[in-house]
Amino acid sequence: VFGGRMDRLDIRATGDAARITDYKSIKPPPKTQRITLGQGRELQRVLYAIAVRALLPETRAVVARLIYLADDPATFELKGDELDDAIGHAISYLSAATVILRSGRIAPRWEKDVFYDDMRLALPADRESYLRRKASEFRAANQQLNKLWSAST
């Protein structure tokens, strides 16, 4: 289940444009790095853009942006074709994830994501050995997702 709240939504008085802002309290990435989906970490603002388009159909222009507040503040925007491409990538990812979930072959998260994994306690006590032994099966199970995520920045 997806849940969340937009940090900020600005709607032009005429109702034809909206700007979604997601504030980040961490240090911004280098200016040269484009952030679209951030391999899933920034999926939220793309989903919010989909919601704005669905709930406010008269809105023609949508901008989804990240504002990093720490150190040297920076803003990263998605709009126009770039936002449309991000929405297409998100839909592809969610479709692939749905197919995998319905097949019953979903692999556990990798170690770097363990903090966010509510099911981590259901894994064997010797987690490292288990993950090494099952690595090829996990890669096969999530192959389509891995391709999509590695292609998205």
Predicted confidence (pLDDT) per residue in 71-109, tens digit: 888 898 999 999 999 999 888 888 888 888 888 877 665
Residue 77 confidence (pLDDT): 92
26 in Cβ contact with 68 (< 8 Å): yes
Tell me the mean pLDDT in the region 132-141.
82
- Of the listed ranges 102-106, 133-137, 143-147, the least confidently predicted one is 143-147
46 in Cβ contact with 78 (< 8 Å): yes
145 in Cβ contact with 97 (< 8 Å): yes
The two structure tokens encoding residue 14: 């005429």
pLDDT at 60 over 60: yes
Burial of 133 (0-12, 13-18, 19+ CB in 10 A): exposed
Chain-wide mean pLDDT for the chain? 82
* Total-model pTM: 0.72
